[in-house]
Amino acid sequence: MTLLASGYGLQLLWGALVTVSLTLCALAIGTVLGIAGASAKLSRHRALRAVGGCYTAVVRGIPDLIIIYILYFGGTIALTKLAGRYVEVSEFAAGATALGFVFGAYASEIFRGAIGKVPKGQHEAGHVLGLSTVAAFLLIILPQAWRLALPAFGNQSLILLKQTSLVSVIGLEELARAASVVSGATREPFTVFAGAAAIYLVLTATGTLLLHHAEARSARKYAGGA
């Protein structure tokens, strides 16, 4: 009996949908944290540079799995104390936040390097135009840095997609956990996990194609093409 015929294939597809949703949420969180972290590292203020450096050092020094556990259980404890009643953090929210937190640390290094490659004359151009520091950063520096950061950022995004499997440890039924559940029910672990691997390959291949398209489009815009 095939997985699709037995109905278990739908469970794997649902797990894949959760995986994609989790990736996109973590990506959004991580991108914001990455830009903020890069800005802090490039700041003239020593305190902000210290915060940015500490952020990266913490993420590099603690396994991703531990960060997921800390945010899941610690978040529940913190919210319960703040609300004065028991409040449980959802597996999805904890997973997206934890993965976004980790992604942001690596993205901050990517953005820091990209921002550093933008010619200094571009910074001065913003002041000549009368833009504030924040406005010049958002309108002039960041778009150029984004083009430079895109290849490394895209590769890190594909890594994030595969890291979503770690969230299965707190009970979220993304693709890896769905495969584990289906494997136990069907007693066909090789077939089930091979199917899950195929789905991951499709997702990463799609992500790679989208990345190449984004890079090509960005290059055309930078060159002044249509």
Q: What is the pLDDT of residues 7-23, one digit of tens each?
A: 788 889 999 999 999 99
Q: What is the pLDDT of residue 136?
A: 75
CB 222 within 8 A of CB 122: no
Q: Rounded to whole angstroms, how far apart are CA atoms 154 and 195?
A: 25
Rounded Cα distance between 194 and 2, Å, is 13
> What pLDDT score does 164 carry?
95
| Residue with token string 């800390």 | 70
* CA–centroid distance for 53 within its chain: 19
Q: Which domains does the chain have, with CATH numbers?
A: 8-223 (1.10.3720.10)
Read off φ and ψ for residue 131, nearest 5 degrees. -80, 150
Give percent above pLDDT 70 in the chain.
91
Average pLDDT, integer, range 79-97 = 90
Confidence of residue 123 (pLDDT cuts 50, 70, 90): low
How far from each other are the two terminal CA atoms of the chain, in whole angstroms? 52
The mean predicted confidence, pLDDT, of the chain is: 87
Query: Do residues 172 and 18 lie in contact, with contact meaning Cβ atoms separated by under 8 Å?
Result: yes
1, pLDDT greater than 50: no
Evaluate whether 68 touches 169 at the Cβ level (below 8 Å).
yes
List C-alpha distances in Å: 12 to 52, 175, 183. Answer: 39, 6, 11
Angle at 209 between CA 192 and CA 7, to 5 degrees: 25
H-type helices in 118-174, by residue range? 120-128, 133-136, 142-163
